[in-house]
């Protein structure tokens, strides 16, 4: 296990390093850039030159990268030029992260709470109308473009009927901020209306964001339950005359859950890193949205840290999944 961990960690470092290089080159290869983003119509050759120099963008690329790497290793990922000018890019990431985590968490709850039970039902009734129905349903979930779904939900439940707020994370209630997890903060500070407001804001985005994970989890659950149902040890369990409950619980589900856990982990990674569309539609103050802004304004520092962080989160979660996998599955644990 230890050796495996070390190997994985090294691999992670490698991946992230290579990525940082690619990323850096990518940013510089982008048409336009910070300077014209800041100056707009007002740009004159002089101001442009001055700004370019001030931002150190006139130096050769490898020098720039070297500087970036050096600063990054000291925890300095540069300053935002446009998303929140003057703010430390790292801080921006850290203030935005909780928003994204909060959203992802709720989306995941939604996906799991529906995906696993339905997946199990579908598998038990494999090839029955119920099954086909559920499968198609889940696939519809995949086929709907996320942002359209988001629009649709917003339109239906926020604009037409005023059931839920249109966008944002919370009404302007002058809430105390501790962790920037609004629901949590509300509970911690006993400002329950803050939590409530945050919850109301979470409903629609979570559903929009949770639909694809739901579909995936549903399908994996179904598939792996199907597999396990056909396994010899299930037959053995039956041959022992165990009650249906025990057979399902101890022998079927427990084995079927292995790949499902994996998938859930994977999805978590994807959610945390890739909620751009949903966050944009619901004007959610999270990483995805920041990415979109940073991109629109060519805010290099912010783009850099956000994408790197996204990748890092992603890889770390993969690692965690593997570890948790090892913990659940004795075959792996004792290898």
Partner 1 sequence: MTPANPMTRRKDRIDDLAATAGSDRAAAVREAGSVDEKPGVSLIASAWQRLRRSPVFLIGAAITLVFVVLALVSPLIAPHDPAANLLLDQVRPQSNPIPGPQPGYPLGADDVGRDLLSRLLVGSQQTLIVGVFATIFGLTGGMTLGILAGAFGGWVDSLVMRIVDVLLSIPSLLLAFSIAALATRPSQLTVIIAVAAVQVPIFARLLRGSMLAQRHSDHVLAARALGVTERAVVFRHMLPNSLGPVIVQSTLVLAVSIIDAAALSFLGLGNPNDRQPEWGQMLGRAQPFIYDNPHLAVYPALCIIVVALGFTLMGESLREALDPKTRR
Partner 2 sequence: MTATATTPGSSRHGDEPLLSVRDLRVTFTRQGEDPFTAVDGVSFDVRPGQTVGLVGESGCGKSVTSLAIMGLLPARGNRVEGTATFEGTDLLTLAKDKMRDRRGRDIAMIFQDPLSSLNPVVPIGRQVTEVLERHKSMSRKAATPVARELLDRVGIPDPDRRLTDYPHQLSGGMRQRALIAMALACEPRLLIADEPTTALDVTIQAQILGLLKELVTESGTALVMITHDLGVVAGLCDEVNVLYGGRIVERGRRHELFASPRHPYTTGLLASIPRLDGARGAPLTPIPGSVADNLPWEHACAFAPRCSQPVDRCTEQSPELEHDDGGRALRCFNPVEATS
Partner 3 sequence: MTLKRTAPLVLLTAAALSMTACAESQRDDSGGSGGGSADSNVKDTFTFGAAGAPELFDPLYATDGETFRVTRQIHSGLLGIKPGTADIQPELAESWEPSDDGLSWTFNLRQGVKFSDGTDFNAEAVCYNLDRMYNQKGAGQTAAEYWTYFFGTFSDDPENSLYKSCEAKDANTAVVDITRTTSSFPTILSLASFAIQSPKALEEGDANNVKAQGEGFTYPDYSMNPVGVGPYKLASYDEANKTVNLVANENWYGEAPKTKNLVFKIIPDESTRRQELQAGSIDGYDLPNPVDWKGLKDAGNNVEIRDAFNVLYIGLNPERNPKLKDLKVRQAIAYATNRDQMVKTQLPEGAAVASQFIPPAVSGYNESIQPYAYDPEKAKQLLQEAGAEGMTLKFAFPTEVSRPYMPDPQKIHAAFTKDLQAVGIKVQEVSKPWNGGYLDDVSANGAYDAWLLGWTGDYNAADNFLGTFFSSPKTNDFHTNVLPWGQQLSDDLKKADAIVDEDERATAYQDLNQQIVEKYLPAIPVSHSPPALVVSDKVEGLVPSPLTAETFDTVTVQK
Q: Counting contacts by CB under 8 A, is residue 205 touching partner 3?
A: no
Task: Report 146-175 residues binding partner 1 (CB under 8 A).
Answer: 146-148, 151, 155, 159
When asked if residue 290 is in the footprint of partner 1 (CB under 8 A), the reply is no
| 323 contributes a contact to partner 2 by CB under 8 A | no
The enclosing H or E element of 9 equals: helix 2-29
Regarding 6 and contact with partner 1 (CB under 8 A), the answer is no
98 to each of 23, 24, 206, how far by Cα in Å?
Answer: 24, 26, 14
Nearest approach, Cβ of residue 321 and partner 2 (Å)? 17
Q: Which of 270, 328, 298, 253 is nearest to 28 (CA)?
A: 298
From CA 272, how far away is CA 265, in angstroms rounded? 11
> Judged by CB, which is closer to partner 1: 197, or 221?
221
How far, in Å, are 55, 83, 98, 312 from residue 78 at the CA level?
11, 13, 21, 18
Phi-psi region of 144 (alpha: psi -120 to 50; beta: other; left: phi over 0): beta
Applying the rule CB under 8 A, the residues between 242 and 271 that interact with partner 2 are 242-244, 246, 250-251, 254-255, 258
* Of 72, 83, 101, 310, the one binding partner 1 by CB under 8 A: 310
Rounded-to-integer distance, Cα 225 and Cα 122, Å: 9
What number of chain residues touch partner 1 (CB under 8 A)?
Answer: 66
- How many Cα atoms sit within 13 Å of 255 on the Cβ side? 19
Structure tokens belonging to residue 222 = 């179904």
Whole-angstrom distance, CA of residue 116 vs CA of residue 215: 10
Work out how close the CB of 120 gets to partner 2 at its nearest, in angstroms, rounded to a whole number. Answer: 16
Which residue of 20, 65, 80, 219 would you call a contact of partner 3, by CB under 8 A?
80
Query: CA 6, 12, 13 angle in degrees (round to 5)?
Result: 95
Residues in contact with partner 1 by the rule CB under 8 A: 4, 7-8, 11, 14-16, 18-19, 22, 26, 29-31, 132, 135-136, 139-140, 142-148, 151, 155, 159, 216, 219-220, 223, 226-227, 230, 258-259, 262-263, 265-266, 269-270, 273-274, 276-277, 280, 291-292, 295, 307, 310-311, 314-315, 318, 321-323, 325-326, 331-332, 335
Residues in contact with partner 2 by the rule CB under 8 A: 231-233, 235-244, 246, 250-251, 254-255, 258, 328-331, 334
């Amino acid at each position: 296990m230890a050796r495996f961990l070390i190997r994985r960690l090294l691999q992670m470092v490698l991946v992230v390093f290579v990525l940082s290089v690619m990323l850096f080159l990518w940013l510089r290869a982008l048409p336009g850039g910070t300077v014209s983003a800041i100056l707009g119509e007002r740009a004159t050759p002089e101001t442009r030159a001055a700004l370019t120099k001030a931002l150190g963008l006139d130096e050769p690329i490898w020098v720039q990268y070297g500087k970036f790497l050096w600063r990054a290793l000291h925890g300095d990922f540069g300053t935002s030029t446009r998303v929140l000018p003057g703010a430390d890019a790292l801080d921006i990431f850290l203030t935005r992260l909780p928003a994204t985590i909060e959203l992802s968490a709720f989306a995941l709850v939604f996906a799991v709470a529906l995906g696993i039970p339905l997946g199990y039902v579908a598998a038990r009734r494999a090839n029955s109308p119920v099954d086909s129905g559920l499968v198609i349903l889940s696939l519809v979930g995949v086929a709907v473009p996320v942002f359209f779904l988001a629009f649709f939900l917003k339109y239906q439940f926020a604009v037409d009927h005023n059931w839920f707020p249109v966008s944002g994370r919370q009404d302007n209630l002058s809430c105390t901020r501790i962790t920037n997890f609004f629901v949590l903060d509300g509970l911690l500070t006993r400002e329950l209306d803050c939590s409530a407001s945050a919850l109301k804001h979470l409903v629609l985005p979570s559903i929009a964001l949770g639909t694809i994970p739901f579909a995936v989890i549903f399908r994996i659950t179904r598939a792996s339950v199907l597999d396990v149902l056909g396994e010899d040890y299930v037959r053995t369990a039956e041959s022992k005359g165990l009650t249906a409950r025990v057979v399902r619980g101890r022998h079927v589900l427990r084995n079927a859950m292995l790949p499902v856990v994996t998938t859930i982990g994977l999805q978590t990674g994807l959610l945390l890193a890739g909620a751009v569309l949903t966050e944009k539609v619901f004007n959610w103050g999270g990483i995805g949205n920041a990415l979109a802004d940073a991109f629109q304004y060519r805010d290099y520092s912010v783009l850099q840290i956000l994408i790197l962080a996204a990748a890092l989160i992603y890889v770390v979660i993969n690692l965690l999944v593997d570890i948790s996998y090892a913990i659940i599955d004795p075959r792996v644990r004792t290898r």
